[in-house]
Amino acid sequence: MATPLTVPLPQLQRDTRGRERRARLVPLALLGPAIAVTLLFLYYPLVFIVRMSFTLADTFLRPTGAVTTISNYVAMADRYLPNLLVTLQLASLATIVDLVFGVPFAYVLVRKVRYRNLVRAFMVFPMFGALYIAFGMRFILLPGGPATPLFEALGIPNTSVLYSLPSVVFAMSIFTFPFMVMNVGTALSNVDPTLEEAAACLGARPLQTFRRVLLPLTRAGIVAGALMVFGWSLGTFAEPLLLGSVNEQKTLAWTLYLKGVIQLDYGLSTAMGVVLLILAFGVTYFSLRYSRGALVE
């Protein structure tokens, strides 16, 4: 015969109490490694560079103690304001290009396209990295390269294309395009297509339907996408370096690499890093507030 139920009552009670305590500890233990790695290799280093950006150039390791100063930020505002402005300019231009081309793309993709897996397969190419995009574009735009006949036909002097602002912005917007499409597409697929049909039946022209029906319903997704693209574009590195002129190469990410790793001016470099970080975090905060953050709940 099978063993009968022989569990005495008191033991059962003790068991459940222990179980409860364990049930509270288990999730902490499970989350532990993830939180530890994130704290050790992301949050601690970030706090470290914030502290470092407020110390005078080489007093950080002095036994007498570090000298607290805001001179790094003053120097940044003094001499490196153009770098910040170029970074913001490139990111905004890339965001605008992505908005103009990404919203129609997302609309067609969600409403009309049945071969969506194919589109997804193509859309992973930008994801492999801005480096390959910039490298490929550099070859394409080279005077005498594959795009030369096109520029000749358009009447643009061929030598002015590579190392210019538009080519940097173009490469940046290719890299971030899928982010925009992802956000806008998610918002659009939550809108019932019958609403558009109703608007059309009531006599609205396509543009009116877009402005009065679609735009209000997808505004959150569009804003979230634009902010996300902007935040990602702030850290642009390879595109200005490989495709831009001296002016575009002043972007903060590249300047902080030069200052921090090559010239070892840690104070100034970390100040730039902190500015970049604050900008990216602010933008991301609003982006996530606008997008559907309902993954966890």
Partner 1 sequence: MTASTASSDTSAVRAPGPRSIVGRRRLTSRRMVDVVSHGYIWLCLFVFVTPFLALLAYSFTGPGGTYAIENFQYVLGSFGENLWWSLRISGLSIAIDLAIALPAAYAIVRYPVPGKRLIFSVLSLPLYVPGAVIGLSLVITYNFTYHLTTSMWGLVFGMVVGTFPLMLTPIIVALKDLPIAFEEAAECLGASRWTTFWRIVFPLIGPGVSAGLMLAFIIVFNEYLVTLFVHPSEITTAPLRIFNLVRTAGLLPTTAALAVTMQLISFASVLLFFRVFGTRYFKGTYLI
Q: Which of residues 99-118 bind partner 1 (CB under 8 A)?
A: 101, 104-105, 108-109, 112-113, 116-117
Contact mark string toward partner 1, 264..293, x via CB under 8 A: --x--xx--x--xx--xx--x---x----x
Cα(51)–Cα(69) distance, integer angstroms: 10
Q: For residues 212-241, which are near partner 1 according to CB under 8 A? A: 231, 234-235, 237-238, 241
The H-assigned helical ranges of the chain are 9-38, 44-53, 71-79, 81-111, 116-123, 130-141, 148-154, 165-189, 193-201, 206-209, 215-234, 238-243, 252-257, 266-290
Dihedral through CA 126, CA 130, CA 134, CA 135, nearest 10?
-90
Nearest residue to 187 via CA among 226, 161, 151: 226
Instruction: Tell the smallest beta-carbon distance from residue 81 to partner 1 (Å).
Output: 19
What one-letter code names the amino acid at 54? F
Cβ-based nearer residue to partner 1, 10 or 220: 220
Residues 187-206: x where in contact with partner 1 by CB under 8 A, - otherwise, as a string: --x-----------------
Bridge partner residues of 55 (DSSP)? 68
The two structure tokens encoding residue 14 = 């003790």
Half-sphere exposure of 45 (CA within 13 A, CB side): 8
How far apart are CB 71 and partner 1 at their closest, in Å?
Answer: 18
In the set 244, 260, 268, 290, which binds partner 1 (CB under 8 A)? 260
Site for partner 1 in 111-150 (CB under 8 A): 112-113, 116-117, 119-129, 131-140, 142, 146
Please list every residue from 5 through 64 that binds partner 1, using CB under 8 A: 23, 26-31, 33-35, 37-38, 40-42, 44-46, 48-49, 52, 60-61
CB of 131 to partner 1, least distance (A): 5
Q: Amino acid letter at 68?
A: T
